[in-house]
């Protein structure tokens, strides 16, 4: 089979601001998504630094209690709703058409609309801080009655509701695009069982968004009705139920945890395979385990409600244990992929290995809190904060940086510096573990989460001091990434079309790709279509 020629006559690509505002090109929308999430991440990171500085010593007065509540609410909301998931959606916007040989997304205008909904939704959430009574302060979960009008009296909470509702709708629109594109816009020869693992993980993520995000949208609507239209859905004094809010929120919230991690499983699979010089071990198992995780996650929501006494603890504990099985399959498959491979310890690979080590601890402690007797002691303590950050921070964020370093040359045509990248990795890895490992012990010693101070007794002052030092190392790692971008942008050393010797289809086009993605497509006979091309070009240098 010869290469499919796809060249076409197109007008010169514009690069003015208006062309970016009005674009429907999936690549530009992906860049807008990712750039926006990185800006939100910078703001959320600075908010985290304010929290850690306040907690560096007991009795600190840097932040008054109400402002501290606003800051941890905005930090959590931004990281979960405006950074981790949207970055993955932006990356998938860029990559899915390239990985399946399509010229664009199935619905380009819907794609653009979803980005602008996300952007303005995020800005509205933060705009609440400019209102008279400040931003939302009921936490990123905004439990009733904390989010009720009688306690959260300001407009900041309403801004939070409206902004997140827009983000939720944007996510559903994006998921529609992903599934439609992957199913009906594949290139000739790109069967479903030849899709890259990243694309498969995004399909599972999109289906999970379909199932979970309508619950979030409905919950936000009911909360707004309670606050501004005289409803009493979550008010027990008028026959409502605050526990109902927890059921509705966590029916979205626990699947959301896997919306936050499944795309990053796909990133790690691509990076580990490329830099081990081997195909992903157990391709079929990796795909099926993604859908097993997505399906099981819909039955785990009351895992967060063991201490309420209002749920069937044995059932939800069992399902929580079961979800560790497909997750474990992925973990062992990554190890088997590396086993016997010629591993190249590039910056993306280091971040992928950091993901594996951090996520392992997050997963093990997740099994611990899935046991009701242990969860009764850990609930709402810093142990849960540490577990969640090892799963999402140590997992998703390390994979996020692996993705940035790995696909940066494809997006811009030049790569980020390896020297500064590796120094940044070690600062980030050491800083992350210094910050969050002590939090397990804080939880064991009884420190509740979401407190703006703590008693100067026992080991808590020393543990908090270590965590704060680690947070500043994390900040230094983030600053070094920005420095790396600036320095590399000035050098702009051409990276070539396939600098990492990858085998998935996005590496078959130019860097950056043309507006219509491909001038021609190589024959697609497997999930690694470029492997055959490399064999043909250099039979004497066949990779193992």
Q: What is the pLDDT of residues 394-419, one digit of tens each?
A: 999 999 999 999 999 999 999 999 99
Residue 12, CA distances (Å) to 265, 510, 516 in order: 37, 16, 12
In tens, the pLDDT along 462-483 reads 999 999 999 999 999 999 999 9
Return the closest-CA partner of residue 178 out of 120, 85, 95: 95
Bond from prior residue into 414 cis (ω within 30 degrees of 0): no
Query: What's the CA gap between 492 and 415, in Å, rounded?
Result: 8
Query: What's the CA gap between 509 and 520, in Å, rounded?
Result: 8
Instruction: Work out the end-to-end distance of the chain between its first and last CA atoms, rounded to an integer number of angstroms.
Output: 24
Instruction: Determine which of 14-28, 63-77, 459-473, 500-514 has the lowest per-residue pLDDT on average.
Output: 14-28
Return the closest-CA partner of residue 26 out of 513, 536, 520, 477: 513
In tens, the pLDDT along 264-299 reads 999 999 999 999 999 999 999 999 999 999 999 999
Query: What's the CA gap between 152 and 46, in Å, rounded?
Result: 24
In tens, the pLDDT along 152-163 reads 999 999 999 999
In tens, the pLDDT along 110-139 reads 999 999 999 999 999 999 999 999 999 999
Task: Label residue 12 by pLDDT band (50, 70, 90).
Answer: low
Residue 239 phi, psi dihedral angles, 5° rounding: 90, 0
The average pLDDT across 345-354 equals 98
pLDDT of residue 530: 87
In tens, the pLDDT along 433-446 reads 999 999 999 999 99
Q: Residue 541 pLDDT > 50, yes or no?
A: no
pLDDT of residue 115: 98
- Say if residues 446 and 378 touch (Cβ distance below 8 Å): no
Residue 220, CA distances (Å) to 95, 116, 169, 241, 504 in order: 32, 20, 12, 15, 40
- Say if residues 105 and 26 touch (Cβ distance below 8 Å): yes
Q: Residue 544 pLDDT > 90, yes or no?
A: no
- Say if residues 101 and 187 touch (Cβ distance below 8 Å): yes
Q: What share of the chain is helix, strand, coil (3-state, %, to 5)?
A: 70, 0, 30
pLDDT of residue 98: 96
Q: Residue 336 pLDDT > 90, yes or no?
A: yes
pLDDT of residue 15: 73
Give one DSSP letter per residue of 341-401, joined into a string: S-----HHHHHHHHHHHHHHHHHHHHHHHTSHHHHHHHTTBHHHHHHHIIIIIIIIIHHHH
H-helix or E-strand spanning residue 486 = helix 460-491
Q: Residue 5 pLDDT > 70, yes or no?
A: no
Query: What's the CA gap between 513 and 96, in Å, rounded?
Result: 13
Domain boundaries 3-541, corresponding CATH code:
1.20.210.10
Cα within 13 Å of Cα(459), Cβ side: 12
- Say if residues 49 and 470 touch (Cβ distance below 8 Å): no
Return the closest-CA partner of residue 197 out of 353, 29, 329, 341: 329
- Say if residues 164 and 243 touch (Cβ distance below 8 Å): no
Does residue 6 or residue 277 have the better pLDDT?
277
Q: Give Cα 367 to chain centroid, integer Å.
A: 21
pLDDT of residue 16: 80
Non-local (6+) Cβ contacts of 167 within 8 A are 81, 82, 86, 117, 118, 121, 122, 125
**Average predicted confidence (pLDDT) for the chain:** 93
> Domain ranges in the chain?
3-541
Q: Residue 62 pLDDT > 50, yes or no?
A: yes
Query: Cβ of 149: how many Cβ atoms within 10 Å?
Result: 16
Query: Cβ of 148: how many Cβ atoms within 10 Å?
Result: 21
Q: What stretches of 78-140 show up as alpha helix (H) in DSSP?
A: 85-100, 108-127
Query: Cβ of 142: how many Cβ atoms within 10 Å?
Result: 23
Cα within 13 Å of Cα(202), Cβ side: 33
Residue 271, CA distances (Å) to 350, 355, 367, 422, 462 in order: 10, 11, 27, 16, 38
- Say if residues 483 and 442 touch (Cβ distance below 8 Å): no
pLDDT of residue 1: 40
In tens, the pLDDT along 193-237 reads 999 999 999 999 999 999 999 999 999 999 999 999 999 999 998
Task: Label residue 542 by pLDDT band (50, 70, 90).
Answer: very low
Give one DSSP letter per residue of 437-452, joined into a string: HHHHHHHHTTPBSS-S
Return the closest-CA partner of residue 153 out of 221, 66, 47: 66
- Say if residues 424 and 484 touch (Cβ distance below 8 Å): yes
């Amino acid at each position: 089979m010869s290469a499919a020629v796809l060249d076409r006559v197109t007008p010169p690509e514009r690069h003015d601001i208006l062309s970016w505002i009005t674009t429907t090109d999936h690549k530009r929308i992906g860049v807008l998504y990712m750039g926006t999430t990185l800006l939100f991440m910078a703001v959320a990171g600075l908010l985290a630094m304010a929290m850690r500085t306040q907690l560096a010593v007991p009795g600190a007065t840097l932040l008054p209690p109400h402002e501290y509540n606003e800051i941890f609410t905005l930090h959590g909301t931004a990281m979960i709703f405006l950074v981790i998931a949207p970055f993955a959606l932006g990356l998938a916007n860029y990559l899915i058409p390239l990985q399946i040989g399509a010229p664009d997304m199935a619905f380009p205008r819907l794609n653009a609309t979803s980005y602008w909904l996300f952007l303005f939704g995020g800005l509205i959430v933060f705009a609440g801080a400019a209102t008279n009574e400040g931003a939302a302060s009921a936490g990123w979960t905004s439990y009733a009655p904390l989010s009720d009008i009688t306690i959260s009296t300001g407009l900041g909470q309403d801004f939070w509701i409206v902004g997140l509702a827009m983000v939720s709708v944007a996510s559903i629109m994006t998921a529609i695009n992903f599934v439609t594109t992957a199913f009906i816009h594949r290139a000739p020869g790109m069967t479903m069982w030849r899709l890259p693992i990243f694309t498969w993980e995004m399909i599972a993520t999109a289906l999970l968004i379909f199932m979970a995000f309508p619950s979030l949208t409905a919950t936000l609507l009911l909360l707004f009705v309670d606050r501004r239209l005289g409803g009493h859905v979550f008010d027990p004094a008028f026959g409502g139920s605050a526990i109902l809010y927890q059921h509705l929120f966590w029916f979205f919230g626990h699947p959301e945890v896997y919306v936050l991690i499944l795309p990053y499983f796909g990133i790690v699979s691509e990076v580990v395979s490329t830099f081990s010089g081997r195909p992903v071990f157990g391709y079929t198992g990796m795909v099926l385990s993604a859908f097993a995780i997505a399906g099981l996650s819909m039955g785990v929501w009351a895992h967060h409600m063991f201490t309420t006494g209002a749920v069937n603890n044995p059932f939800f504990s069992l399902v929580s244990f079961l979800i560790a099985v497909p997750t474990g399959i992925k973990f062992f498959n990554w190890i088997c992929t590396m086993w016997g491979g010629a591993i190249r310890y590039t910056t993306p690979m280091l971040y992928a290995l950091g993901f594996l080590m951090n996520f392992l601890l997050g997963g093990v402690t997740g099994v611990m809190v899935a046991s009701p007797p242990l969860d009764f002691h850990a609930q709402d303590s810093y142990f849960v904060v540490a577990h969640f950050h090892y799963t999402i921070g140590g997992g998703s964020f390390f994979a996020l940086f692996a993705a940035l370093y790995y696909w940066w040359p494809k997006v811009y045509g030049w790569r980020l510096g390896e020297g500064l990248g590796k120094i940044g990795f070690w600062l980030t890895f050491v800083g992350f573990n210094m910050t969050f490992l002590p939090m397990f012990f804080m939880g064991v010693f009884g420190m509740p989460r979401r407190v703006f101070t703590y008693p100067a007794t026992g080991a808590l002052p020393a543990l908090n001091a270590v965590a704060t030092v680690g947070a500043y190392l994390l900040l230094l790692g983030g600053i070094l990434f920005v420095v790396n971008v600036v320095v590399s942008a000035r050098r702009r050393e051409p990276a070539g079309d396939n600098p990492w010797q990858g085998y998935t289809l996005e590496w078959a086009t130019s860097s950056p790709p043309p507006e219509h993605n491909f001038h021609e497509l190589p024959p697609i006979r497997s999930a690694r279509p470029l492997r055959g091309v490399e064999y043909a070009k250099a039979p004497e240098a066949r990779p193992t």
